[in-house]
């Protein structure tokens, strides 16, 4: 088997293609794929930067730079938790909510486009294999 025939190759190639497309589509609105994920993960009740870092599997220092940029652009704001003042939570501004709507339209639109080319059986198989990959990766990481 050649390296360009492995599951890893196809997974990475697809991931890179998605990133390239979302960065291109979002460029008119100041949205990258990573910013899109941040916008999606910040719910109405807010989220702490630490929890967001875990969800994105992103280094805190890199996330801090991104969050500072998003705050400067007026997409997010930080607020101390009402129950525990030591905790800071992130919330979306109106501008952030609008950018999340734009990101959502792009993601759902692309999803619909793919769904017209993929049968239910193919989709089920893709989801099953994706879950197996995630499970195997988690298993390897947990053993270390």
CATH number at residue 16: 1.10.10.10
The total number of structural domains in the chain stands at 1
Residue 51's domain comprises 3-142
Backbone angles phi and psi of 96, in degrees to 5: -65, -40
Mean pLDDT score, 16-31 = 94
pTM of the model: 0.83
pLDDT at 1: 86
Alpha helices (H) along the chain:
7-26, 33-41, 49-56, 60-72, 94-115, 120-143
Show Cβ contacts of residue 87 under 8 Å, excluding neighbours closer than 6 positions: 48, 80, 81
9, 2 contact by CB (below 8 A) = no
- pLDDT tens string 33-91: 999 999 999 989 999 999 999 999 999 999 999 999 999 999 999 999 888 888 899 99
30, 99 contact by CB (below 8 A) = yes
């Amino acid at each position: 088997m050649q390296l360009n025939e492995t599951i890893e190759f196809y997974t990475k190639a697809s991931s890179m293609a998605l990133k390239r497309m979302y960065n291109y589509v979002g460029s008119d609105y100041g949205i990258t794929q990573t910013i899109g994920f941040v916008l999606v993960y910040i719910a109405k009740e807010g989220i702490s930067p630490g929890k967001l870092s875990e969800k994105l599997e992103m280094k805190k220092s890199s996330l801090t730079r991104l969050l500072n940029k998003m705050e400067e652009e007026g997409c997010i704001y930080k607020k101390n938790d009402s129950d525990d003042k030591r905790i800071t939570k992130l919330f979306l501004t109106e501008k952030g909510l609008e950018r999340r709507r734009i990101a959502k339209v792009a993601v759902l639109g692309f999803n619909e486009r793919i769904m017209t080319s993929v049968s239910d059986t193919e989709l089920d198989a893709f989801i099953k294999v994706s879950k197996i990959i995630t499970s195997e990766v988690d298993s390897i990481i947990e053993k270390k």
